[in-house]
């Protein structure tokens, strides 16, 4: 039938319906359902809605047409990340967002100094203009980074997805039910993609499950060819008349993705050394070693340079520009990571979410669950107030100064700004007679040591939050992993017992007795007790939400194995035995590849962990100690020269020296900047290390942050404090002898 004839036929019947039922009967409405609404809410995340709104708003304001070739690539990334934006919207927002930063930042850089009665600095205007220019390509790359995050999460689940498909297809050759089985056991985002395969068939977008699956595979052809090949082998097994050849194809599909994953990770590990060396040098070594020169540069800027303006300069570079650059470079390295054997965040599972909080038992049956955020806020507030106490006292106009009796380095001191005949300061702010409000600081060893508490407040509060958030959950996952490690042999024994013709209940009891004292023995023992003492059936004994053995060991691998057992046992013990023996071999192969991947990454991971735990905080601590000594000597020298020139009325004679030795930046502020940078770099490197080692593993990342962030922060504060005391005593001797 021609298209015109088809349309004429539709209009003919619409006219008949209008004639019999009225015009409202043929009004076209958008077909929706509760199921579709729920599916769309699950499929499309809401945490990026602000970015989506910004892109759509920018597209309405600024109409731009992106490059056709680039638009195709952007659209692919948008589809992967499930963003409700267009390539034109992404381009428009990159321009408007960058212009907004340039204009707003430049206006603030001009207005704030004028309001405070200061001279505007071109540095801040240049900074915001540069930041806006760099923001244009960064915002254009945002869909790419978001898509890479989704791809990495999905790629880490692809081995598991093939494992679930093959496991189910061995005893039931039905692709649609196998995809549904995999979707039930996988975590988002790949579980959502598998559900969409089924949804597209259900809604009639594709007529068969193979067409829908092939459309999904077309999506991954540029990123994971091994997954596509394995999936096609599974599809091919449906057309084999011989049971032996069907099972061979299924085994081959798992071998293909395991071998391909190992080879891809091997190449990634070999190519990772050069980028990681560059990241370490540009993000850690050079910035921290550059801090040694900064006090000299600051002091040689001259007496007309405001120390607090210099503090802002350094903070913009070290606490904003460098961390963003290191994070961008780290994400670029992480985006190239191939598929691996992923892990899941069991803390998101129902019934385990309470373990993400601090559980305080009041009585045997009553427990209070407290969010760790409250503890971290208390720790931060207490330490931060102690750390900024010199500023609080000075702001309250309290003459809070502690000086040593030998006239050497003052423990806690505020000093007068240095001015000379060429650059006089405001009335009453020069010389030794300036009032308390005009003094600047805090200077001295005590202030420098108190600044370490400010750094500790940030690092310890963050580390405490992540540690308390993950400690209980990681203990459950470690126990579950111990079961997964030995579950292959446990399934092998259970399969052999079932192969002997024993019922599942008796076979479970025998395996529990044989493996007594092991984690697998405990698992089967719980199942056997549920059957014998509580009178449950096999499926209820395994999956009961309150007392089922699966609730004590939340693992998708174990759960899927037991579901295969519960389903295949209906066909007889021998069918169940074959399924379990196959699963035992699959789990063993996956575990073997996982260990080989860890071995490949061992050198890189150990090097990065040593940087996080020791090298970075140790180098930074030593450098800040040297900086404290240099800053103390130069500041004291500048003050002495200023006092001497004022006392002898020969300011013009010393104007040259005063121009060279300007007042230095207080070590108090300098250390806070460096300390925050150490915490930022530690956070970025820990996140990057966790991503390289385990891929998308939120629970493992939180546990690593909680453990390593606290350790590196305390090590930095300890080393910096010891070096500060030693070097300031040394500086005190130098000053007392020379001045």
Largest pairwise CA distance in the chain: 112
The pLDDT value given to residue 31: 39
Q: Assess if residue 340 is contained within a domain.
A: no
Q: Assess if residue 697 is contained within a domain.
A: yes
Q: Are residues 711 and 605 located together in one domain of the fold? A: yes
Q: Would the CA dihedral through 131, 133, 137, 140 be positive or negative?
A: positive
The pLDDT value given to residue 380: 94
The pLDDT value given to residue 376: 92
The pLDDT value given to residue 28: 43
Q: Are residues 137 and 179 located together in one domain of the fold? A: no
Q: Assess if residue 419 is contained within a domain.
A: yes
Provide the b/e sequence for 356-389 (b: ≥16 CB within 10 Å).
bbbeeeeeeeeeeeeebeebbeebbeebbeebbb
What DSSP line would sit under 394-427, residue for residue? HHTT----B--TTSSS-SBEEEPPP--SSS--ST
Q: Are residues 313 and 383 located together in one domain of the fold? A: yes
Q: Are residues 537 and 642 located together in one domain of the fold? A: no
Q: Are residues 601 and 527 located together in one domain of the fold? A: no
Other beta carbons less than 10 A from residue 207's beta carbon? 9
Q: Are residues 494 and 604 located together in one domain of the fold? A: no
Domain boundary among 155, 173, 190: 155
pLDDT < 70 stretches in the chain: 1-10, 13-14, 16-48, 116, 118, 292, 294-307, 339-352, 397-439, 635-636, 638-664, 696, 738-739
Q: Assess if residue 511 is contained within a domain.
A: yes
Which range of residues forms the domain containing residue 236?
A: 165-267
Q: Are residues 384 and 443 located together in one domain of the fold? A: yes
Q: Assess if residue 497 is contained within a domain.
A: yes
- Provide CB contacts within 8 A for 370, sequence distance 6+: 357, 358, 359, 360
Q: Are residues 305 and 409 located together in one domain of the fold? A: yes
The pLDDT value given to residue 609: 81
Q: Are residues 513 and 483 located together in one domain of the fold? A: yes
The pLDDT value given to residue 419: 47
Report the percentage of the chain scoring pLDDT > 90: 9
Cis peptide before 643 (omega within 30 of 0): no
The pLDDT value given to residue 592: 77
Q: Are residues 502 and 566 located together in one domain of the fold? A: yes
Q: Are residues 54 and 144 located together in one domain of the fold? A: yes
Say which DSSP state 696 is in.
Answer: S
Q: Assess if residue 360 is contained within a domain.
A: no
| 134-176: pLDDT as tens digits | 888 888 888 888 887 777 777 777 887 888 888 888 878 888 8
Q: Assess if residue 191 is contained within a domain.
A: yes
Q: Assess if residue 730 is contained within a domain.
A: yes
Domain boundary among 591, 620, 640: 591
Q: Are residues 105 and 132 located together in one domain of the fold? A: yes
Domain boundary among 120, 155, 190: 155
**Domain count along the chain:** 4
The pLDDT value given to residue 454: 94
Contact 527, 541 (CB under 8 A): yes
């Amino acid at each position: 039938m021609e298209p015109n004839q088809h349309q004429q036929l539709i209009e003919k019947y619409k006219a008949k319906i209008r004639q019999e039922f009225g015009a409202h009967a043929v009004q076209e409405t958008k077909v929706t359902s509760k199921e579709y609404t729920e599916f769309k809410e699950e499929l499309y995340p809401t945490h990026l809605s602000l970015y989506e709104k910004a892109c759509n708003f920018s597209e309405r304001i600024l109409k731009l047409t992106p490059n056709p070739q680039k638009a195709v690539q952007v659209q692919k990334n948008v589809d992967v990340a499930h963003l409700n934006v267009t390539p034109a919207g992404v381009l428009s927002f990159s321009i408007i967002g960058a212009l907004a930063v340039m204009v707003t930042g430049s206006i603030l850089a001009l207005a704030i100094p004028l309001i405070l009665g200061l001279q505007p600095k071109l540095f801040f205007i240049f900074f915001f203009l540069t930041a806006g220019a760099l923001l244009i390509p960064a915002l254009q790359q945002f869909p790419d980074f978001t898509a890479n995050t989704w791809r990495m999460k999905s790629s880490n689940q692809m081995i598991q997805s093939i494992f679930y498909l093959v496991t189910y297809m061995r005893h039931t050759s039905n692709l649609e039910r196998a995809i549904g089985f995999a979707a039930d056991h996988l975590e988002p985002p790949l579980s959502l993609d598998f559900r969409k395969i089924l949804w597209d068939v259900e809604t009639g977008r594709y007529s068969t499950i193979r067409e829908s699956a092939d459309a999904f595979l077309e999506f991954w052809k540029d990123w994971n060819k091994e997954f596509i090949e394995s999936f096609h082998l599974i599809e091919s097994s449906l057309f084999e008349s011989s049971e032996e050849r069907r099972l061979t194809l299924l085994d081959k599909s798992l071998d293909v993705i395991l071998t391909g994953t190992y080879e891809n990770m091997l190449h990634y590990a070999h190519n990772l050394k050069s980028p990681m060396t560059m990241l370490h040098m540009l993000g850690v070594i050079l910035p921290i070693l550059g801090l040694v020169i900064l006090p000299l540069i600051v002091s040689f800027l001259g007496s007309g340079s405001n120390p607090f303006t210099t503090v802002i300069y350094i903070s913009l570079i070290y606490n904003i520009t460098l961390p963003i650059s290191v994070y961008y470079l780290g994400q670029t390295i992480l985006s190239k990571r191939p598929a691996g054997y992923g892990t899941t965040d069991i803390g998101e599972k129902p019934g385990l979410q309470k373990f993400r909080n601090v559980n305080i038992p009041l009585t045997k049956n009553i427990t209070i669950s407290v969010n760790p955020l409250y503890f971290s806020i208390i720790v931060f507030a207490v330490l931060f107030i102690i750390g900024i106490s010199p500023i609080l006292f000075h702001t309250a106009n309290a003459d809070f100064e502690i000086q040593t009796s030998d006239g050497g380095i003052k423990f806690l001191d505020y000093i007068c700004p240095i001015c000379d005949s060429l650059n006089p300061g405001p009335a009453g702010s020069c010389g030794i007679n300036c009032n308390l409000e005009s003094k600047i600081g805090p200077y001295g060893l005590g202030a420098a040591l108190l600044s370490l508490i400010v750094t500790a407040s940030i690092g310890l509060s963050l580390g405490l939050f992540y540690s308390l958030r993950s400690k209980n959950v990681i203990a459950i996952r470690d126990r579950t992993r111990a079961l997964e490690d030995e579950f292959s042999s446990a399934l092998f024994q259970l399969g052999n017992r079932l192969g002997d013709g024993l019922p599942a209940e008796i076979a479970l009891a025998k395996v529990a007795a044989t493996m007594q004292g092991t984690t697998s023995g405990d698992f089967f023992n719980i199942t056997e007790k549920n059957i014998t003492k509580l009178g449950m059936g096999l499926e209820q004994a395994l999956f009961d939400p309150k007392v089922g053995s699966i609730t004590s060991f939340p693992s998708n691998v174990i759960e899927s194995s037991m579901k295969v057992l519960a389903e295949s046992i209906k066909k007889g013990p021998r069918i169940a035995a074959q399924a379990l023996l196959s699963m035992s071999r699959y789990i063993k192969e996956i575990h073997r590849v996982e260990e080989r991947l860890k071995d490949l990454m061992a050198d890189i991971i150990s090097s990065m962990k040593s940087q996080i735990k020791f090298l970075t905080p140790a180098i930074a601590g030593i450098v800040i100690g040297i900086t404290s000594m240099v800053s103390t000597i130069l500041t004291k020298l500048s003050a002495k020269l200023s006092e001497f020139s004022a006392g002898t009325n020969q300011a013009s004679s010393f104007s040259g020296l005063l121009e060279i030795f300007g007042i230095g930046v207080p070590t108090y502020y300098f250390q806070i900047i460096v300390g925050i940078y150490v915490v930022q770099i530690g956070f970025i490197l820990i996140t990057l290390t966790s991503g390289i080692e385990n891929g998308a593993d939120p629970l493992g990342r939180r546990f690593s942050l909680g453990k390593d962030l606290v350790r590196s922060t305390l090590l930095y504060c300890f080393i910096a404090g010891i070096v500060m005391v030693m070097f300031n005593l040394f500086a005190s001797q130098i000053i007392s002898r020379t001045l």
